[in-house]
A and B are shown apart, each in its own frame.
Chain A
Amino acid sequence: MLSDIQLVKLAKEGHLNAFESLITKYKDKVFNIAFSFTSNYSESDDITQNVFLKVYSNLDSFEEKSAFSTWLYRISVNECYNGLKKRKKNTVSLETEVKNKDDISLKDVLADPNANVEQNSISAETQSMIRKALLELPEKYRMIVTLRDIEDISYEEIAQIMKISDAKVKVWLFRARNKLKSIIKI
């Protein structure tokens, strides 16, 4: 199997199937980050599509100073934040979002017939409770626990992805988990 660097090189040379392989490798990771951030399927789909189209459009400017995945996740984080700004601009959708916060469990977490979900050990009820709690976190805290605890990305890579210092990674992570703990009341 080709490495990311090899695939990126081929994609830069115009081999579309190499780019498709990169999509296949990372699409679910990006989607899962977006979903952890938004708890919304269609938004996560938009974000994930935008991420890969931006990656493709900017492939020439990727200088391979970092790993491809770091660059990809950096774009994903920006896209999540941008999506949020768009939603905030639209007051109607914001109201609906707040009003429907309790519906998240029904609409998005439990029953999406098209979603290909890997089932895990915790109950659907707990899942929806945690997802709702995540939405209550300030966005930077929501993003950092997403990257660390949901995606299991290292402190060093998180610092690069979020463009923050190592010290900030530690502090934000502690605060984010603490806040989440008090919301969930574990």
Chain B
Amino acid sequence: MKCKNFVPKISLYIDDKLPQNEKVLFEEHLKSCKECFKEYSSLKNVRTSLMNLNKQKTGARFESIIMQKIEKKLYTPSQASTFFQTVKVSLLAAVFLFAVIAAFNFFTPSFFDKKSHDNIAALNDYVLKDTSVYDKISSGLMG
């Protein structure tokens, strides 16, 4: 087998993830190919270096900081879900409102173009009286 077939397997070999038959072939190749052996050593070194990095730790008071925040009721399961529920509902409401306003702005200019200025008051009346316009606009948008 050629080297280019072996190179992508180096990483798998390092993690012992090659099937037995491929592993045997790979090891045979490593013995005979200096290039691939060099590649293998380098990648192995990368893993070893990462494994040997100092482990970083939290401060000694970490638990008490978290528990204090929890005990102050800043974070509780129910409050959190209620909070997210509220955010969700407000967002939906905002999006709906925006859609209605956008639709209204989108449709009204054609009215203004066709009709004379005097009819604006009548148009407003019409819109205010006939709330089904809102429904038509929004249902047109939604579906």
Contacts and interface: CB of A to CB of B under 8 A. Distances in A.
B11 A173 contact: yes
Interface stretch (B75-83, B92-100, B120-128): B75-83
B15 interface: yes
Given A53-B69, A57-B75, A117 B57 contact: yes
A57 B57 contact: no
Contact of A56 (B55, B56, B77): B77
A45 B12 CA distance: 33
Size category of the binding interface on chain B: 35 or more
A60 interface: yes
Contacts of B10: 174
A contacts with B: majority SS: helix
B17 A58 contact: no
Given A149-B47, A177-B47, A118 B55 contact: yes
22 contacts: A16-B67, A16-B70, A19-B67, A20-B63, A20-B67, A24-B63, A27-B62, A28-B58, A32-B55, A36-B53, A45-B59, A49-B62, A49-B65, A49-B69, A56-B66, A118-B57, A120-B54, A122-B52, A127-B54, A173-B15, A177-B11, A181-B45
Given A31-B56, A130-B53, 19 more contacts: A16-B70, A19-B70, A23-B67, A28-B55, A28-B57, A45-B58, A49-B62, A53-B69, A57-B76, A59-B77, A115-B57, A121-B52, A126-B49, A177-B46, A178-B11, A178-B43, A181-B43, A186-B45, A186-B49
